[in-house]
Amino acid sequence: MKITFLGAAKTVTGSCYLVETKSCKFLIDCGMFQGHSKEISMNQAPFPFNVSELSFILLTHAHIDHSGRIPKIYKDGFNGAVYATKATCDLCSIMLPDSGHIQEMEADWVNRKRERAGKHIIEPLYTFQDALDCIKLFSSIKYGEAIKINDEVKVRFNDAGHILGSAMIEVWITEKGEETKLVFSGDIGNRDIPILRDPSIIDSADYVIMESTYGDRLHEDKTDKVNKFIDIVNETIERGGNVVIPSFAVGRTQEIIYDIHKQREKFEGKLEKLLSIPVFIDSPLAISATEIFRKNLDCYDEEARKYIEDGDNPLDFPGLQFTKTPDESKALNDRTDSIIIISASGMCEAGRIKHHLKHNLWRKDSTILFVGYQAIGTLGRSLTEGAKKVKLFGEDITVKAKIESIDGFSGHADRDDLLAWVSKFNKKPKKIFIVHGEEDGMNTFSKLINEKFGIETVIPDMNSSFVINANHAIESMEKPEVSYQFKRLAIIDMLETLKDEFNELSEILKADLKDEKEDIEIDELRIKLKNLERQMVDVLR
């Protein structure tokens, strides 16, 4: 068989792996690339295989960076089954149409500009309707049941404890009477995630394809995390500002609600301020997703189930309000009291959160509190890295609000938990392919696996293929034809970054304008810029 890494290879988003056996082709995940315009343009590129020859897709979980290109592949002619757990099917039935809606809105925005410039208009990646239509391909699979998909392929989904319905997938492939077992970790959950069960332990594999998002980092301690959360909220209320929490519509939002609810009893006294102000969940998607959480109680851990048996709803508390209509959402910006707004998307790339940032980033008294992973190239990442100015709806917004992050709410296992997961294999894998991470983190994590367990690791390149059987995995020299015909976009992206950096430098100098004293640094800067100017003349030519 052959496996080709078509996404999340040396990057975090766009999860997509093609497996080709003697008689069938299938994908594990079909996710969207997120981040810079280069990544976004990669979503537009055609799939580097004949889509109609694809037999089925195994989907680890509903997050858009794992599921977001399913409507596109459907639109391109894929008509096979998408196997996923029931909760994943339920979540995709709201998340994919929502993504389609975002694709249409973004295409509209670009087209208005293109029309003014007399250029031909572009099509959205897919529409709301494409996404609704593709849901008929979804077929639900129970956790823990081994299912024979065809004569060659058998699969089993195990709870990954990452978001509701998330799975790590065991795949057994029989070719010429020989069985090879692959394990796709999907995203591995954080052990202490409220509501969800801990990630499953898998005891054997020939090859593992494993995520490494937090491969070189440790999460903050749980009690510290809760205390920090309360402190940040209290300080913001004292200043008279709002707390804006960009949160994934699915998962983090429900967990934060649950955490606030739990802390209510634990931290009485410290919580008075927090509980006295209204908390708004401002994301239509989060509202439907909360409904889906309520409908899939079988995925809950014991603690959460006990709450429900005791007649308590862990996803609700007094003061919690859901804003449904855009008007209700806009009205939040006219309020003069302090409020907490939880809104999607978590990386600030789309959705209502962008409006709340526009109204709060410039306010010294407000806080933007990040509780999830921020991929390179996203607005969320720029903010957590200390950007002084950002662009929202074509407008420059100065960042005056306090920017805070709490790591412990992450849905991903940290370095030690990832290593603990690897340590549980009774039958040591022959190789671990490390995916879904940033380059530095992957290198560190790869070394740790070599040293601790003596297991060989590979960090596959994008579009690289490996020929695999039960005994060996050899990199194949032939690469699929991939046409990323969007090279210009990548250059525009570089220019935009440079422009931002120059603007920032100019702001620093402006602030320093009256300082007349001799300054070697400033002289050096002038010489460097002179040289750059000469090179620019060449570039422009």
How far is Cα 220 from Cα 122, in angstroms, rounded to an integer?
44
Is 182 or 188 the residue whose CB approaches Zn ion more closely? 188
Is residue 276 reached through a cis peptide bond, with omega within 30 degrees of 0 on the bond before it? Answer: no
- DSSP bridge pairs for 209: 184, 433
List the x/- string, 378-417, binding to Zn ion by CB under 5 A. Answer: ----------------------------------------
**CB of 348 vs Zn ion, minimal distance in Å:** 17
List the x/- string, 142-181, binding to Zn ion by CB under 5 A. Answer: ----------------------------------------
Contact 445, 215 (CB under 8 A): yes
**CB of 65 vs Zn ion, minimal distance in Å:** 7
Is 210 or 341 the residue whose CB approaches Zn ion more closely? 210
Q: Which amino acid is at 174?
A: T
Is 13 or 338 the residue whose CB approaches Zn ion more closely? 13
**CB of 297 vs Zn ion, minimal distance in Å:** 21
How far is Cα 470 from Cα 448, in angstroms, rounded to an integer?
24
Site for Zn ion in 180-209 (CB under 5 A): 187
**CB of 285 vs Zn ion, minimal distance in Å:** 15
The end-to-end CA distance of the chain, in Å, is: 50
Helices 252-266, 284-295: axis angle to 10 degrees equals 70
**CB of 31 vs Zn ion, minimal distance in Å:** 9
Site for Zn ion in 487-526 (CB under 5 A): none
Q: Which of 453, 454, 448, 456 is nearest to 430 (CA)?
A: 456
Q: How many CB atoms lie within 10 A of CB 168?
A: 29
Q: Which of 45, 46, 43, 71 is nearest to 57 (CA)?
A: 71
Is 164 or 233 the residue whose CB approaches Zn ion more closely? 164
How far is Cα 264 from Cα 425, in angstroms, rounded to an integer?
39
Q: Which of 313, 233, 236, 244 is nearest to 283 (CA)?
A: 244
**CB of 68 vs Zn ion, minimal distance in Å:** 11
Helices (H), 119-202: 128-134
Is 63 or 86 the residue whose CB approaches Zn ion more closely? 63
Is 285 or 489 the residue whose CB approaches Zn ion more closely? 285
Is 95 or 153 the residue whose CB approaches Zn ion more closely? 95
Is 189 or 460 the residue whose CB approaches Zn ion more closely? 189
Is 29 a binding residue for Zn ion by CB under 5 A? The answer is no
**CB of 458 vs Zn ion, minimal distance in Å:** 22
**CB of 474 vs Zn ion, minimal distance in Å:** 30
Site for Zn ion in 257-316 (CB under 5 A): none
Binds Zn ion by CB under 5 A, chosen from 63, 72, 355, 402:
63
Count of residues engaged in binding Zn ion, rule: CB under 5 A: 2
When computed from its CA atoms, the radius of gyration of the chain, rounded to whole angstroms, is: 24
From residue 268, alpha-carbon distances to 56, 230, 339, 341, 406 in Å are 51, 11, 20, 22, 21
Is 187 or 282 the residue whose CB approaches Zn ion more closely? 187
**CB of 349 vs Zn ion, minimal distance in Å:** 15
**By the criterion CB under 5 A, which residues form the site for Zn ion?**
63, 187
